[in-house]
Amino acid sequence: MGINDERNVEANLQIGPTDRGFVRIFVAVEDGTEIPMDFSPDEADEIAEEIRAAAEAARRLTRKKPGKR
């Protein structure tokens, strides 16, 4: 599965601090699978920057498509 492959899966995403000073991204999938991912605050900042950059790139792509505003 790649970044551009679509899947029809529902999941719950939670993001927050842990009591040990990490940032946890927690994904709970409809089949009961749970994926906790812990990051240092610096790593979390890097991830946030990547998400912002991806959002901006996605905006640029949607602006370029004919018929889209």
Report the pLDDT value the prediction gives residue 68, as an integer from 0 to 100: 52
Report the pLDDT value the prediction gives residue 66, as an integer from 0 to 100: 63
How many angstroms separate the Cα of 34 from the Cα of each of 8, 14, 53, 65? 17, 11, 27, 36
Domain ranges in the chain are: 11-64
Report the pLDDT value the prediction gives residue 12, as an integer from 0 to 100: 97
- What does the pLDDT look like over 5-62, one tens digit per residue? 888 889 999 999 999 999 999 999 999 999 999 999 999 999 999 999 999 999 999 8
